[in-house]
Structures are given as structure tokens and as C-alpha cells.
Amino acid sequence: MGPPGSGKGTQASGIAKKLNVESVSTGDLFRSHQTRQTELGILAATYMERGEYVPDAVAIKIIMDWVVHPKRSKGFVLDGFPRTKTQAETLDKELCRYGGVDRVLLIDAPEVELVRRLTGRLSCKDCQATYHVDHNLSSNNRKCEKCEGRLYRRSDDNSIVAKKRIQLYRKETSSVVEHYREIGKLKEINGAEPMDTVAKNLLEAVE
């Protein structure tokens, strides 16, 4: 968990790889439906472009279908889910026979840094890797360094919508963070540190 721009997407697949499980980002799932112009994708886009959460029923269905697949029986990493109390209650209920989620990793950083990252972010259309215009991009190359895919700016990464998303996170998702803190599952990581340090701290928190 963490506000927009804290580094969830940057870190989730790396942790999953180290733990030898799969990861999923709710936002990426919605964007993949948008690319394919499915009914769900068209519906999700109307909320995402305004910086609002997609309705619980839709977010819960798409993630729970992924979670309960037999392929995920040895574990998984969720990026960006749960964000509301209803989502957390549904996830906790589904996983209660396994003792609930093992860990909730919270990454956070100051708002000015979050906005700087979001408004400078470039994302790969094919593999969803993220870059920042200020760094980790070779200057003559606007293609993904991992898969050569096309880099683009997300429509919700302009400063007005980015700030709205951060506010919504603080308003809606802080009660979910508190819930996991109260039941002793939460580990907090300083997302303002360099990416390698964040990755190391996250892995230590999981292990």
C-alpha cells in the first residue's frame, strides 16, 4: 500500500520475483482492459481519468478472481489493493483460512516528491515498467529499456489529477492502513529513499 507515486509498482514485481510468486496491480489490470476496450475498461476509465476510485464491486471482482486462481495457491503480492474498508474486509474474509494476509507493506513519501514523480513518470505500454523524465532513461531513447515498448504519459498523471488521487488516498485508504496496523500486520517503509534501499527494506520487512 501507499499513495500514488510512492513506488508500489516499481517495487511490487521485484519483491514477487524474489519470493517466487506473482504480483498484480489493480491499476494495471484496469489499464489492460482499457487498451482492449472491454466494457470493464471503458467503465473504469471514467473513474480513473477523474482520479476517483473504481466502484468496490468492480475492483473486488477483478482482484478476487485473480487471487482465488489455483496458480496463486502458494502466495502472491498485491499492488494497490485493498484501498477501501469493503475491499479489505472481502480480502480478509477470503484469506482467513490461511490466517489472513502475511504482511502489509506501506510505502510513503512527502507529497511534493509524490507529485514530482507522478508528473514526470513515463510508463511502458507493453510491460508497465516505469521511468522518470529526470532519470533512468537514456536521453536518446524513449523506448522501454526492458522490452522496447512505447513509453507514454498516463492520462491521470497531470498535476491536478495527481494531487486529487493523493488526497483521495489519504481520505479513503488511511482507515485501511489503520486496520492493518491494529492487527499487527503493517510494516512501514520510507519511500523517499533511493529505489535500491526501498527494495532492500521491503524485502527485509517481508522476510
Interface ranges with ligand AP5 (CB under 6 A): 2, 4-10, 25-27, 30, 47-48, 51-54, 59, 80-81, 83, 87, 117-118, 121, 130-132, 156, 165, 191, 194-195, 198
- Rounded to whole angstroms, the Cα distance separating 52 from 114 reads 17
> Quick one: DSSP state of residue 105?
E
**Which residue carries 505500454 as its cell?**
125
- Rounded to whole angstroms, the Cα distance separating 138 from 145 reads 9
Taking the complex as a whole, the smallest distance from the CB of residue 65 to ligand AP5 amounts, in Å, to: 14
Based on the residue annotation, tell me whether 146 is a catalytic residue of this protein: no
Based on the residue annotation, tell me whether 103 is a catalytic residue of this protein: no
Question: Are β-strands 151-152 and 121-124 bridged in parallel, bridged antiparallel, or unpaired?
Answer: antiparallel
Taking the complex as a whole, the smallest distance from the CB of residue 98 to ligand AP5 amounts, in Å, to: 20
Is 9 within 8 Å of 28 (Cβ atoms)? yes
Taking the complex as a whole, the smallest distance from the CB of residue 114 to ligand AP5 amounts, in Å, to: 8
Quote the Cα angle for 36-131-31, to 5°.
Answer: 15
CB under 8 Å to 23, separation ≥6 — which residues? 12, 13, 15, 16, 76, 77, 78, 79
Among the options 154, 163, 185, 187, which is catalytic?
154
Based on the residue annotation, tell me whether 142 is a catalytic residue of this protein: no
Among the options 18, 61, 72, 83, which is catalytic?
83
Based on the residue annotation, tell me whether 31 is a catalytic residue of this protein: no
**Which residue carries 509524490 as its cell?**
114
**Of 56 and 185, CB closest to ligand AP5:** 56
**Of 85 and 181, CB closest to ligand AP5:** 85
Taking the complex as a whole, the smallest distance from the CB of residue 10 to ligand AP5 amounts, in Å, to: 3
**Of 102 and 167, CB closest to ligand AP5:** 167
**Of 81 and 180, CB closest to ligand AP5:** 81
**Active site amino acids:** 8, 83, 121, 154, 165
